[in-house]
Structure 1
Amino acid sequence: MYHFKDLVEKQTKGEVTVGVYVAASLGDARTIMEGVQLGSIEMGDVENGVMSNFVKETAVFDLPYLFDNLDHAHAVEDGEVGKYLQDLYLKIGVRHLAFNDGGFRYFTTSKKPLTDAASFKGMKIRVMQSDVMIKTINAFGASAVPMAFGELYTALQQGTVDGQENPLDLIYAQSYAEVQDYLSLSEHFYYPRQYIINEDYYQSMSSDIQKIISDTAVDSCKFQRDCLADYTTSMLEELKKQGFEVVDFDKAYFQKVSEKLWPDFYETIGNGDKEEGKWLVESIRALSK
């Protein structure tokens, strides 16, 4: 977002200023999304998990092991499915500017490492407020505990939950190594974020400013993509230095479990229409290489 801020302020010659608020200082993801929808917050960079409460179809991104790798995910976002999902935001008074890449999500735990089906038994794992994520973790064999991000560190510290799942940058930034011991190379959920802006606010701008905002959002998210692969490698090394024991994960087994789950969510991700949900999943898998 700082990259976006610098470019917008430079290209608009200061006509538009961008205030960047980090560490949930404006509230959790749901609060930010609601704020953008209402116009009390003009723009946000919001994680996908909460989006399905507003645009049901975006829950397709939460399906476990739906994306083979980052190239596959980017092809989806830049293609027909991505455009289809972006257009749905306008129905709720929000303009979707660009997909911002957060990579994949990983499990961390304290009691024992998560490596296979047996290791999930008896574990309480914090997840976001996403029906798909909750049902997925339960299907993997653990007990999913939906919880606000701001409450997570204390919950891990006090043992209210045994583990959590997040992208590497958040695991590092939140110093979870202080209260967790193991990091599993699971990459179980893809983690897109969204650059969104209040539609009324966007329409109040001149066409020149609109173009700068829209183009810069896309450019900034592409910049994030280009940095992500090298960043992931370096971040894993930093997490090891923080104290994490990094362990392998039986992706092949959980991929099979996940594929059996996908049809259960067709109606959810189709906003009540199973055929739409099926189309979304099949369209995404068709781009797999």
Structure 2
Amino acid sequence: MLKQRVIATAPGKINVYFRVGPPREDGYHEVASLYVAVSLLEQIEATLRHDSELQLSLEPGSTVVSDPENFPLGEANLVYKAAQLLREHTGCTLGANLHITKRVPIAGGMGGGSADAAAALVACNELWQTGLDREELGRLGARLGADVPFALMGGAAIGLGVGDQLAPLLTRAKTHWVLIPASYGLSTPRVYAMLDRLRAGQELEVPQEVDPEVIKALMESDAQALSQVLINDLTQASLALAPELGTVRDLAEGAGALRAMVSGSGPTLALLVEDAEHAEQVMAQLGDEVGVATLAVSAPAPGARVVLSEDLDGAEESR
């Protein structure tokens, strides 16, 4: 039975370990990554249309969308692409109004666009009752971007290949983070291009595995040990493009963070802290002394999921 309205969420992510190999002939890079999904969720509200139109809208007042008037709400948006891909794959001819609530910083290295795509796939699969399972949705998601399968999975996972070969880590051990979003974004392709320029002429190996010490510290929720083994090969490129990140990183560690690192391709900074109380202390000091905006999150968080499903007769099911 078709649904009238569905709300789905999907998490942003932090790469607590990110090694990048040399560029391949197709321009992509082999990586070895350890993803953790964080409690900062994108949301898609999908409402049924009986025509074939896909209409996107943006929740007003989003603090992570600096220029709402120029936010893409057409075919270039990953939400549109996800819904259209699902229709093409299943033969569905229905449409939807897709309302986007953004909380993950845009172009911030936290996979916000991928989370949008994952939430859209889950929402539309439920709305149109197209019946795909998680594995099938993951294969579709990989066609939209390397981070989409992880946004569908959530939790924690090792990622190899271009990040799409995922091996989940079955852990519920919590880590706590403070995020410092930037007022600007960094294009992921631009960061990779800078990394290639900075490493030109170097002998580089294709990364084959994640450091076992990182996995051990994460699985044991040992923040002190984890702070010693966090690594992100994209840091040097992000700092070359946005040198001020280095200053803010140093200020964050001076405010008591165990470690401050660039999240993914940046420019969001992820600050590892001991626990929720320590997060509040670091946020207070950064707010009082530096005046930067901060967000407290924890990990791991669940992957993309339906949180409300409404039948055509108006009956609601919350999940």
Shorter-chain TM-score bucket reads under 0.3
- Greater share of residues in helix: 1
- TM-score of the superposed pair, with normalisation by structure 1: 0.22
- Greater share of residues in strand: 2
